[in-house]
Amino acid sequence: MERTDAWDDALHVVELSRPTLKDSTEALIRRALLSGAMRPGEIYSANALAARLGVSNSPAREAMMSLANKGLLQLVRNRGFRVVELTDRDRQEVYDLRRLVEVEAVRRVAESGVTAEDAVLLRRLTEETVAAAAADGMLEYLEADQRFHAALVGLLGNARWTAIVENLRDQSRINGSYHLQERGLLESSAAEHRGITEAVVAGDPELAAERMVRHLDYARP
């Protein structure tokens, strides 16, 4: 496979280290999926990706199996892994689940209340998404956006809930997350984080939920 700019963008920020080689490799492949360097419907072998990343076949295959278990890749026997290509029904299912789990999570966080330290964290992560959107760096925005939402849901103290939200968000993005940028909605979407954060900090669960519902409209099929 010939190296492309998309691959360069996907791979340059994650450093591979032996203690967490499988996790680091998985992070790199995930970025390649989000960036579009790995295209929906195409099949990639663990051997070829291992060679590209400069790792052995074992961590590459383990990472790809993990991503397959998360619904981002599909195992193709004797050939490799195919990037999942979402149908309209798939997108609707993911959107419906996100409406259920993300909105309720935000409602509960606001209802429980957040500490002053939590408020500082949410506001900092909010501004990081706004800055990434203003810089027009889509992949950087997606990562900042993921950190914001994971931290927000993480305030529930329910690791499984957070993992489900992170996975659903990834599933919704592997087939065309760049539509926000193409439609000029990136900065307005990022700015919506401010409203969500302030409703949560104010302890207003209904307003927080309402703003989260509106925020998810961009993901509606």
* pLDDT, position 209: 98
* pLDDT, position 39: 87
CA-to-CA distance for 51 and 132, rounded, in angstroms? 31
Residue ranges of domains in the chain, CATH in brackets: 5-83 (1.10.10.10), 88-219 (1.20.120.530)
Q: Would you state the structure tokens that stand for residue 92, as one six-digit string? A: 């609707």
* pLDDT, position 107: 98
Instruction: Specify whether the CB–CB gap between 200 and 208 falls below 8 A.
Output: yes
* pLDDT, position 162: 97
* pLDDT, position 83: 93
CA-to-CA distance for 97 and 83, rounded, in angstroms? 21
Instruction: Specify whether the CB–CB gap between 138 and 173 falls below 8 A.
Output: no
Give me the mean pLDDT over the 54-71 stretch.
92
Among 77, 64, 80, 57, CA closest to 32 = 64
pLDDT tens string 15-36: 555 457 888 899 989 988 888 8
Whether residue 2 is predicted with pLDDT greater than 50 in this model: the reply is no
Give me the mean pLDDT over the 86-115 stretch.
95
* Burial status of residue 111 (CB atoms within 10 A of its CB: 0-12, 13-18, 19 or more): middle
* pLDDT, position 186: 77
Q: DSSP for 122-187? A: HHHHHHHHHHHHHTT-HHHHHHHHHHHHHHHHHTT--HHHHHHHHHHHHHTTTTTTTHHHHTT-HH
Query: DSSP H helical segments within 12-115, as ranges?
Result: 21-35, 46-53, 57-69, 88-112
* pLDDT, position 180: 57
Task: Select the highest-mean-pLDDT range: 45-49, 141-145, 210-214.
Answer: 210-214
Whether residue 73 is predicted with pLDDT greater than 70 in this model: the reply is yes
pLDDT tens string 146-204: 999 999 999 999 999 999 999 999 998 887 555 555 566 778 889 999 999 999 999 99
The helix or strand, by DSSP H or E, that contains position 188, with its residue range, turns out to be helix 186-201
Average pLDDT, the chain: 88
Whether residue 14 is predicted with pLDDT greater than 60 in this model: the reply is no
Beta pairing class for 73-76 and 43-44: unpaired
CA-to-CA distance for 51 and 53, rounded, in angstroms? 5
Task: Select the highest-mean-pLDDT range: 125-139, 171-185, 203-217.
Answer: 203-217
